[in-house]
Amino acid sequence: MLVASLRKESINLKLAKAIELYAPQSLRFDYIRMDDMPYYNGDLEGQRPESVQRFTDSIRAADGVCCVTPEYNRSIPALLKNAIDWGSKPSADNVWHNKVLAMTGASPGGIGTAVAQQHLRQILAILGCIVMPGEAYISFKTPDMIQPDGSIADESVREFITAFGARFTELIERMS
């Protein structure tokens, strides 16, 4: 699981916890850290920092990646873009190539994170990622819509998240 928000009370972290809670039991989530990597710099390729090696090893080992991202200025956060850049280099070792990825995000705005996801989909397509079809963005209408443990009282939102996890599981199984 890649959560592209650093806030402790992030609504996107709550969404990630909900996905984990309502996903099929066969799906196991590891939260992969991105905040300790330096900005991508080709000069570091010869001696990659340990944080970068840990990140790329984790992505490489995963059967699929679920990315939960906020939208910053109609795009993805720099944190996520930096992680994508590290994972794509060098080109021969691109960890995103043929990696199954589901994306979603939450925002208090009316269109959720639709534009950020469109931009993310464009970036990942260039890198050869297998992105789950469809859109999955959540308009976080009330602060308590998703509890810190991921539980959701609203049945329609809970059903949407459950279906998202089921589709992700199905795509991973189909592509394995």
pLDDT at 53: 98
pLDDT at 34: 98
pLDDT at 84: 98
Single pTM value for the model: 0.95
- Report how far residue 3's alpha carbon sits from residue 32's, in angstroms, rounded to the nearest whole number: 8
Long-range Cβ pairs for the range 36-40 (8 Å, 24+)? 37/82, 37/83, 37/86, 39/82, 40/82, 40/85, 40/86, 40/89
pLDDT at 17: 97
Integer CA distances (angstroms), 129 to 15, 32, 39, 124, in order? 22, 18, 22, 5
- Span 2-175 CATH architecture: 3-Layer(aba) Sandwich (3.40)
- Which stretches of the chain score pLDDT less than 70? none
pLDDT at 143: 80
Domain positions in the chain are: 2-175
